[in-house]
Chains A and B, each alone.
Chain A
Amino acid sequence: MNRIRFIPATRKTGLAAFETELLALLPRLRRFARSLTHDGADADDLCQVTIEKALMARGSWQAGTRLDSWMYRIMRNAWIDTARARSRAAETFVAEEAGLGVGGEGNAEARVALNEVDAAMRTLPDEQREAVALVLVEGMAYKEAAEILDIPMGTLTSRLVRGRQALMARLGEAA
């Protein structure tokens, strides 16, 4: 019978519920990376580091729990690490053109909108930005976001409200 080609799994050719699910998450991970890094190239670098870490740590992921939360957490922690190293290296070098890269030939209007939001997100402190990214961009519930960030609900909501007010002011939504 060769209608079904399920190759018996070995350690080496591990089949792939995990990888497949991860693959399906990639667009969301890239989006989260973009909102954390506010730069297209940095975002994909962050994705790469995150996938590496996830593959190494896959043994600690419990099947049946949410892979997206697990991945967001890995990504966020990886970003803290790289961002720390980076701010020591070069504080001053903020590329204004950063943030092209989206949508290849994607329409100009969409790019402008994203660049505007990138610029506004850049002004937020990390702790507010990550709260905004998880709740407003990734659509996580407050409780899920608080768990990913490992902070109490009250801390999450106060960061979130401050981040939002700053963004509203920046993006022409001032009262």
Chain B
Amino acid sequence: MTIEPELLMAYADDALDPLTAKRVERAVAADPALAEEVARHRRLRAKLGAAYAPIMDDPVPDRLAAMLTSNVVRMPRRQPRPSRVSAAWRSAAAMAACLVVGVLVGRGVQQEGPVAATDHGLYAAGSLAEALDDQASGTGGPVRIAVSFRAQDNGFCRVFQSAEADGIACRDPKGWALRRTMPGSTPGARTGYVQAGSSDAELMAAAQNMMADMPLDAAGEKKAIASHWRAR
């Protein structure tokens, strides 16, 4: 059976569908010359990869980075590569967040708490839902909205802070779905689970990852409130 060079190359690159790959694999197994050709393809890929790798570790020249940072609002740096310590720290924070949500939901059973557990997940309720609906960013109150933005799926999301919890809530037809929750950060938090870690940097980084473009400005936010946060 003859195997075209393109096919053999694609096999070496793992770029074939399973069926074709099987067919080539049998041919390669039966012909040492083909097997050697496959090995050469892979060696070349490895060689090129290694040769260019140092560029990835090179510091990016300032003149290039400056083109992108000079007119940009400073954002918290994304975590570089999570070290073991910070990974452990993060999972501790996640656990703490779970506890908080547990406490909030638990309370929600007795009174109108800020979080409701539904079949579709956790949703904002009570005063939190009201604030998310109507409150402009930056204004005071028991709940504070840090920023509103359009997520990549085009829906609206808002970063909020309150005594009980901080988080990101995204609007869907059922209400404000809680995407992220962390222990509350505003002074006077009463949950007992508040921890020293800064939820704001985590939330900001998360918001930044979700954001389609930039946060809404005051006018955009006003419009969104008026149209009840309906996605376009």
Interface residue ranges, A against B (CB under 8 Å): 1, 3-4, 6-10, 12-20, 22-24, 26-28, 30-31, 34-35, 44, 47-48, 51-52, 55, 63-64, 102-104, 106, 110, 113-114, 116-117, 132, 135-137, 139, 141-142, 154, 157-158, 160-161, 164-165, 167-168, 171, 173, 175
Contacts and interface: CB of A to CB of B under 8 A. Distances in A.
A168 B68 contact: no
Given A17-B211, A161-B9, A171-B47, A24 B75 contact: no
Nearest to B33: A175
A134 B113 CA distance: 53
B51 interface: yes
A14 to B, nearest CB: 6
B34 to A, nearest CB: 11
A151 to B, nearest CB: 14
A15 B67 contact: no
Contacts of B72: 13-16, 19-20
B213 interface: yes
Given A142-B10, A161-B9, A164-B41, A104 B214 contact: no
Interface string B139-182: 01000101100001100000101000000000000000000000
A157 B49 CA distance: 19
Given A4-B147, A17-B214, A113 B36 contact: no
B142 to A, nearest CB: 12
Given A1-B138, A27-B55, A171-B47, 4 more contacts: A13-B73, A17-B208, A23-B68, A48-B63
B217 A10 contact: yes
B164 to A, nearest CB: 15
A106 B186 CA distance: 48
29 contacts: A3-B198, A4-B161, A6-B204, A7-B73, A8-B137, A8-B217, A9-B216, A13-B73, A15-B73, A16-B73, A16-B214, A20-B72, A22-B68, A26-B60, A26-B64, A27-B55, A27-B56, A30-B58, A31-B52, A35-B48, A64-B152, A103-B55, A104-B59, A135-B13, A137-B49, A154-B6, A157-B10, A165-B5, A173-B44
Nearest to A44: B61
B20 to A, nearest CB: 13
A68 B72 CA distance: 20
B161 A63 contact: no
B107 interface: no
A133 B158 CA distance: 41
Nearest to A48: B64
A102 B54 contact: yes
Contacts of A24: 78
Contact of B51 (A12, A117, A165): A117
A106 B47 CA distance: 18
A13 B71 contact: yes
A122 B117 CA distance: 62
A22 B161 CA distance: 29
Contact of B6 (A28, A44, A158): A158
B193 to A, nearest CB: 17
A137 B215 CA distance: 36
A44 B67 CA distance: 13
B78 A4 contact: no
Contacts of A18: 213
A164 B9 contact: yes
Interface in B18-61: 36-37, 40-41, 43-45, 47-52, 54-61
Contact of B57 (A15, A103, A113, A154): A103
Contacts of B36: 175
A13 B214 CA distance: 10
